[in-house]
Structure 1
Amino acid sequence: MVFEYADSGNFNNYVDKNYESFNWFNVIEALTNIIGGLSEIHQKQMVHRDFHLGNILFASKNSYSKKMAHISDIGLYRKIDDVNETSIYGVMPYVAPEVLKGKPYTQAADIYSFGMIMYFVATGRQPFADCAHDEVLVLNICDGIRPEIDEKIAPKCYIDLMKRCWDLDPENRPNSIIIEELITLFYDSFASYQHTYNHGSRV
């Protein structure tokens, strides 16, 4: 198996280095790649189980695949009906509350993690960055506490989707196909706006 070389490092490092120039078009473009990759995993009836910024790698846009972001760490992937163990993997703020309570990983748990990724790219901050990653944080997450966000820094449609992804009830979280459709709509809207803006600026 041959993998593309991710010459820009992981998502966390990439955004840290490029946040000032990482506009909303870049955000939606990256999320389109990420949710597309997760959707492919889920359509194969698999669960990632360790979905966070460190496992999303960035490659140059002039690379072979033309994609910016790629999901890595395939070693923990499991078929849905093979995920019976209750061991917890991952970075605590990205782990779904039901998993923290000892339930098996599901595709909905991956979606929770995607919601936290959406938070990071909107704010440039790690979720719960000002909290110790301890039992208190586990209890808070399981009680429905989520990272605070200034709703002025992101479009309402974006924040609404992010909050649906990290809903306490996994049954209320959208699946990867629905998210991919919505993120694609966001992308098309931003692309259309950018085209109109650029065209208007030349007149």
Structure 2
Amino acid sequence: MWNWLPSDSHLAENDVPTEGHPPATTIVRASDLRRRFTTANIQPWLDHITLRHHIHPDHRLLLEKVCSHLVEWHQANRPLALVGACKLSPLPLFPPGWFVDKQQQNHGAYEGIAPSYIARFVPPYRLTRTAVPERWDEVFLKGLTVQYDIDPGMIAMATSTTPIYGLTMHYDERCGYSQLMLVMKKATYGNLETRLEQEIPTDYAKLRALALSITKSVKDLHWKYIHGNVHPRNILLNYADYVGELVDITFMQYNQTSTHWPHCRGGGRWPYVAPEAVAGKTLTTAADIYALGIILWQLVSRVTFPDNMLVDPFLYRIEPIPGVMREWEDLYTDCLNADPSRRPNAYTVYRRLQMLREDVPLNITTLQYIQQRRAEIQTFLAEHRQQANEPMLAEVGDHILTASVTRLVNRGLESYPSLVQRFTF
């Protein structure tokens, strides 16, 4: 549809083909070139798949908007594509029956967030396009949450920054409708949170490389967008275990605007939610920098926050790390400043990371600290995993304790404990 024109406009009025003598050229009137594509032309198709797959009305509307945006974008960029200066990216809609062995990957389905799955891709025939998974490959199905308006341009933008194969639908028995999902490449090396739990570094080389790639993703995004939910599970390791890519558009909004946030203010994954969200202030790119500061701290400490049990504020405290490189500590300390106006921007963080030496081994006291924190947490997890059906949210005195899950709205956020302790700003 990227070069769509009305079917009756391909021939000029005086260019009528005769039997056996088709016209030598196709003439398109200038007035037709100015005619914009409208989704009225694909309503029969949309009606058909909506009825066949019982698509939720909100997701039907989102699909219509995505189709309209992609066609307009492709038509606008056609001249650049013809000279090789731009690549036009289609977004296929795969039948839901092509995905089997689905395994839910998050707890978000119970917190207002659409669930995501790992599944196997099993088309009934071989596909010749290169930008699709191989048959029986595992793929990641990212649920789209549309309780508020998702700009279709953000979905189209995601196809150019992350490995997205297309869209599909998943039937949700709880609501009785099918909902749209992004079909994404399963990260070859997993996500950053899993890596933090599995490895203990010996020097700053991989830490610096990871920090640079993550910060570059944030820096590039901030030219136009605020991410709104930066955390290690949203950082995928596709190309190497030291190259991170920031994904997820659930809370993304345009920079310098607040129109996208009224319905989900204070949402995201705690403790990565910035302090200014507690006061209900309009978030800026500084909110992403706060979350980035926690990740920079985690890259050294290797502490991760559980999503299946209440987070103990003392056990999971964010504190100075003994023996850490001074420049590294100064950087994440600046990012964690409670005043968003005093946090560095992503470009400054990136430049400061570039100036760090990478051939520096971790101090022995730092390694001992990592081992100590890991042992404390493993003991805690072993004790609490024996308790079935532990709540994800609980009032304890004046505080609300919570598991580290992504919520559409973190209710009572002002009563959540702060994990950041004893930093001097």
TM-score tier after normalising by the smaller chain length: 0.7 to 0.9
Which consecutive unaligned segments of at least 5 residues does structure 1 have?
Answer: 138-145, 195-203
Which position in structure 2 is the counterpart of 1:61?
240
Size of the alignment, in residue pairs?
173
Percent sequence identity is 24
Output the CA distance in 1 between the equivalents of 2:256 and 2:351: 26
Please state whether the residue corresponding to 2:358 is helix, strand or coil.
helix
Return the alpha-carbon distance in structure 1 between the equivalents of residues 321 and 212 of structure 2.
Answer: 23
Look up the SS of the partner of 1:75 in the other structure.
Answer: coil
Structure with the higher fraction of residues in strand conformation = 2
1:164 aligns to 2:344 (yes or no) = no
Tell me how far 1:32 sits from its aligned partner.
Answer: 0.3
The structure-2 alpha-carbon separation of the partners of 1:174 and 1:101, relative to structure 1 and needing over 3 Å to count, comes to same
Measure the CA separation in 2 of the matches of 1:170 and 1:120: 20
1:39-78 to structure 2, matched below 5 A, reads 39-44=219-224, 46-61=225-240, 68-78=243-253
The residue that corresponds to 1:179 in the other structure is 349
Runs of 4+ more than 6 Å apart? none
Q: How does 1:55-134 map to 2 (within 5 A)?
A: 55-61=234-240, 68-84=243-259, 85-86=261-262, 87-126=265-304, 132=310
Tell me the residue number matched to 2:321: 150
1:84-134, CA deviations, whole angstroms, 9 ceiling, x for partnerless residues?
Answer: 4352222111111001221122100100000000111110003699x9559
Mapped partners of 1:151, 1:83: distance in 2:
40
Which residues of structure 2 form unaligned runs of 5+?
A: 1-158, 164-184, 362-425
Report the structure, 1 or 2, having the larger helix content. Answer: 1
Which structure would you say has the larger Rg? 2
What SS class does the counterpart of residue 12 from structure 1 fall into?
helix
Distance in structure 2 (CA, Å) of the matches to 1:21 and 1:103 = 38
Deviations 1:49-76 (A, max 9, x none): 01111111112339xxxx7110000232
User: Partner of 2:194 in structure 1?
Assistant: 13
TM-score (normalised: structure 1): 0.75
Superposed CA RMSD in Å reads 2.7
